[in-house]
Structure 1
Amino acid sequence: MNLKQLEVFIAVAESGSFSRAAEITFLTQSTVSQHVSSLEKEFELKLLDRTGKGAFLTEAGTLLLDHAQRVVAEAREVPRALSRFRGLEDVTLKIGGSNIPACYMIPQCIFAFRRQHPGVIITLCQGDSRETLERVKREEVAFALVGTRFADKGLVHTPLVLDKISLVVPAGHPWSKKQHIRLADLAGEPIIVREPGSGTDRTLREALAKAGFAPDELTPSMCLGSNEAVKQAILNGAGISFVSEMSVQKECERGELSMVEVQGLEILRHFYLIARQGRDLAPAAKAFIDCIHQRFRL
């Protein structure tokens, strides 16, 4: 069975005539008859009653017609669907993002992208860096933005802009008016930390260890699962924490939060765009990555 045989069968069934079906399909009448006979031979069923008044469906033919019409209709939709896909129309683009990129980077690109490509529906899947990486590996998202680099094989990491992670305290905290504190001052100070798997947590611990301060000397007061939760906790006086400067810029400008320098400690990291190695991205994904590069390229 092939698509052409089904198209010919439909033409005969709907017109009730082999000769009329030949005109519709631009085939000879004998070729039309051969296609129908091939179907009957394959299924070992009579599909049409040939009479002097025309061709009439048998019960088996009626059943085949129902399925054949759906198959042919779907087949005809394939070129249109791929054309829309290529032209970025009626397309869903799934993007992954760890907390900071999902909240502060990707949204900055969405408006400009949607203005150019209004037919693309964007789905943003947010999680910590490790969770987001796993989504890329499972092919649940086309690509993702994360705040740390992993050693997983089969992935391409493209570095984007630098992010600075700073100690942030609420207004009224004893350190809020200080220009800087000593690294040793962190010992014993209750601090809000991110969950394991967070790019921020990983980067902080690596920077502390490099500066000669054991991360275990920190005194966690709570562990929260997102940067926004940490920021809200600081704003409500629940503690202090190391967070991305990108995420607290407005609150610091309003005087609600303060960034405090820690002597001997500078925490810088790249954001990374990660995608599967050797895989061709869809046109919508490529177009969105262009928007990301325009705004956040190194």
Structure 2
Amino acid sequence: METMYLKTLIVAAEKGSFSKASTELCITQSAVSQRIKFLEERYGCELLDRTGPVVMLTPAGEMVVKKAQAMLEIEKSLQDELQKFTGRQSLSICCTPSFGTAFLPGVLNCFMQKNADTVDLKFMFSTPEQAVKGLAERDFDIGIIEHCDGLDLSEFHKVDLPKDELVFISSPSLGIPSPIADIEQLKAQRLIARKDGCSSKKLLRHNLSAMGCDIEDFRSTVIYDDLRLTVETVLAGGGISFVSTSLVRKQLDEQTLREHRVEGFCHNRYRTVAVSRRKSNDPFVKDFLMCVKTEFDELCMN
């Protein structure tokens, strides 16, 4: 049996929702439901109580989850041990979307030039909280996380990167003054925002709350999960957005976009590389961290 089915049960129980579990696991809600149904048919008993607004483990489900967690831990240890026989190592990376879009291609190119023949590399984009959870559960070896203050990374080896700057961006066609903008001028525009859980949206909400307003106070709000589409929409005059300057440096330099800061706003968030302590002395991890450093050193020189 696929152990991923057991993990699906664990996540569904943790989230209390098939839809939230599907988001966490990057599969459809139907796939979550089918996996749970398969387990229930295999074990001959109901594992989740679906009668309330939040799905909950039944007594049988609690027993299965306890055993499943132990099985998944054994599987992870087995994978680590088997690498000794294959002659190849694996490195799994999770990063938040802005870093992944702006910097990861350069970092990966640097890393793979040295290690393409010896390392199997996998990576994915996720929210800060999901990255931390994946590191804790050994789904990832490295997490590159853009985050607000308060994220607990104490159980990992950490490398701090330069802070990330976020600003509002707009097309010059909208006529919003730059670089300082009045919040009322911005609220009169359509806001292109990220989904809940993204640190840029958390920082925006925090800033707006400090000024006595909220995202709902903008003329309208559109939620995009694609950063490139967000930038293209703003370039076309379709609204404004609160994004990392690392994503739009070229457009800002070319003046095809304007940046706007608001007096009283916090425009910075943290960037941290978090490494599982069991991997902190791995030579491939050290190589990857050096490639991250090289990417940022070149950015500072430019």
TM-score normalized by the length of structure 1: 0.62
Secondary structure of the corresponding residue to residue 186 of structure 1: helix
Matched, 1:174 2:175: yes
Per-residue CA distance 1:70-102 (angstroms, 9 max, x = gap):
xxxxxxxx99963875xxxx3332111110111
Counterparts of 1:115-134 in structure 2 under 5 Å?
Answer: 115-119=113-117, 120-134=119-133
Distance (Å, rounded) in 1 between the aligned partners of 2:164 and 2:258 = 17
The alignment-based identity, stated in percent, is 16
In the other structure, the counterpart of 1:279 is 278
Matched, 1:82 2:84: yes
Per-residue CA distance 1:34-86 (angstroms, 9 max, x = gap):
xxxxxxxxxxxxxxxxxxxxxxxxxxxxxxxxxxxxxxxxxxxx99963875x
Per-residue CA distance 1:116-145 (angstroms, 9 max, x = gap):
223223222112323333322332211111
Counterparts of 1:104-123 in structure 2 under 5 Å?
Answer: 104-119=102-117, 120-123=119-122
Q: Which has the higher strand share?
A: 1
In the alignment, is the contact (CA less than 8 A) between 2:166 and 2:268 conserved in 1? yes
Secondary structure of the corresponding residue to residue 181 of structure 1: coil
In the other structure, the counterpart of 1:158 is 159
Distance (Å, rounded) in 2 between the aligned partners of 1:182 and 1:81 = 57
TM-score normalized by the length of structure 2: 0.62
Letter of the 1:138 counterpart: E
1:202–1:157 Cα change, 3 Å: farther
Matched, 1:259 2:254: no
CA RMSD after TM alignment: 2.9
Distance (Å, rounded) in 1 between the aligned partners of 2:249 and 2:292 = 20
Distance (Å, rounded) in 2 between the aligned partners of 1:208 and 1:240 = 15
Max Rg structure: 1
Letter of the 2:251 counterpart: E
Distance (Å, rounded) in 2 between the aligned partners of 1:79 and 1:263 = 54
In the alignment, is the contact (CA less than 8 A) between 1:95 and 1:142 conserved in 2? yes
Letter of the 2:275 counterpart: A
Matched, 1:96 2:94: yes
Counterparts of 1:59-70 in structure 2 under 5 Å?
Answer: none
Residue ranges of structure 2 left out of the alignment (5+ in a row):
1-79
How many Å apart are 1:237 and its aligned residue? 2.5
Instruction: Point out 4+ residue stretches in structure 1 off by more than 4 angstroms.
Output: 78-81
